[in-house]
Amino acid sequence: MNTLGNFINGAQTPSNSGRFSPVYNPATGQQTLQVSLSSADETREAIAIADKAFAQWSKVTPVRRARILFRFKTLLEQHFDELAEAISLEHGKVLSDAKGELTRGLEVVEFACGIPHLLKGEYSLNVGTHVDSYSLMQPLGVCAGISPFNFPVMVPMWMFPIALACGNTFVMKPSEKDPSVIMKVAELLTAAGLPDGVFNIVNGDKQAVDVLLTDDRVQAVSFVGSTPIAEYIYTTGSMHGKRVQALGGAKNHMLVMPDADTDQVVSALMGAAYGSAGERCMAISVAVCVGDEAADQLISQIKQEISTMLVGPGTGLKQEPHMGPLISKVHAEKVKHYIDSGVKDGADLLVDGRDFKVAGHEQGYFVGPTLFDNVKPGMRIYNEEIFGPVLSVVRVNSFQEAVDLINAHEFGNGTSIFTANGESARQFSEQIQVGMVGINIPIPVPMAFHSFGGWKRSIFGPLNMHGNDGVRFFTRMKTVTARWPKNDITNHSFSMPTMK
């Protein structure tokens, strides 16, 4: 059995912890390798190496750092298909979805390549007589990233390209469920000319995470995952003096107005609800229909589309499936329990994916596309993030009832409205208490030059991922006020300085 260790100081390095976690192919249920779970001391060693590398890397000019990222981008493009297949085999998502993930990660690298422009500060001439003020954006030091299983490349790329471009060094802690592909990415960074020790990977569990959250040498922590863990990351990291951006859970609603184009809604909703088996923090898991007529028509067409869906392994078939397996057996069982609870709570189960089997892959972690009607607040399937291929339909009587329903939910990550009415769309975008809003767009993930992040209990910390917020997160602003007097100043002043 192959064992995956760490990536430290520019090379793959075995772990001596003696603790391991199995890694499976979700489509077959077969173990493919084991990943080491690093000890606290090994995590501290990685931090020490990154801390040492910071002294030199922070002095590299932004242009030179950008050139390394340009070469890295080229290598990512050259190895694009290989990386996408590795994502699909270890996560389970279909190949086209894996390529989409890579593309969105690449966009952040492209954004980070513009770092010489993004690090420009502000300058004010003559704020006082012969006195100028200007700002410097300087790197923090060692930064850490903790990423989830559902995007093993894209989410790390929300973090480390901008951190490195800003002059920081980085320690990445990927998910132990699909850790292989980020190791390949690290090798490409080294091949692009990144100095040893600037980017490191520590595979592990809570033991490694707690070191990253408490070690004084780590200055900032980025995290994406569930809300309870995000809150823990934020609280613990902040308590130890770190700046933290911790993105948590979601329950994303799509508001369907009576005037919406039903064909367009159905096409958008199928991909948004069932793409990547619903394992997306931006997946639409609730369709809020205004009026019974809109709900009945939507459900009729959704049921028809589900009946034609192809579900299977992400790679290896002549025709690519629409949806692959879930990440693990434990998670598949958790999703099935959610479906059980929906039935128990009185929702109408219209399409049941609990006993779904794929011929030739009976041991795979498959749950079929599932559809509920008449779902109401208070039901677990409405209140909680399922992270699986389960779509709930909620019926309301008016636009305002829908807005109030969405705003009452504890999560505020993403949402969308489908309508032909510009005034409805405008009111929705203004009134809704959600961080990312789509208008006739089902999954409103911002481009890399905008920032990604929700509201309420979907995020902890004031700054979002990538875009301008990402640059601000990975830099400290220093403001300099300067005067170069013609003559020596001999008069002492003990009062509050003012500009005259």
Q: DSSP string of 48-63?
A: HHHHHHHHHHTTS-HH
User: What is the β-pairing status of strands 131-139 and 142-146?
Assistant: unpaired
Residue 355: count of CB within 10 angstroms of its CB: 8
Strand ordering across the sheet containing 436-439:
348-351, 370-373, 390-396, 284-290, 252-256, 414-418, 436-439
Integer-rounded Cα radius of gyration of the chain: 25
> Which pairs with CB-CB distance under 8 Å and at least 24 residues apart come from 117-120?
118/165, 118/468, 118/471, 119/62, 119/166, 119/471, 119/475
State phi, psi for 200 to the nearest 5 degrees: -135, 150
Contact by Cβ (8 Å): 34, 21: yes
Q: Return d(Cα 346, Cα 335) in angstroms, integer.
A: 17
Establish whether 281 is a catalytic residue: yes
Full DSSP string of 151-219: -TTHHHHHHHHHHHHTT-EEEEE--TTS-HHHHHHHHHHHHTTPPTTSEEE---SHHHHHHHHH-TTEE
User: What is the full DSSP assignment across 326-383?
Assistant: -S-HHHHHHHHHHHHHHHHTT-EEEE--TT---TT-TTS-----EEEES--TTSHHHH
- Of 113, 143, 166, 281, the active-site residue reads 281
Q: How far apart are CA 196 and CA 452, in angstroms?
A: 30
Longest alpha-carbon distance in the chain:
89
Give the tokens for residue 130.
């012969």
Residues 6+ apart with CB under 8 A from 331: 365, 387, 388
Catalytic positions are 281
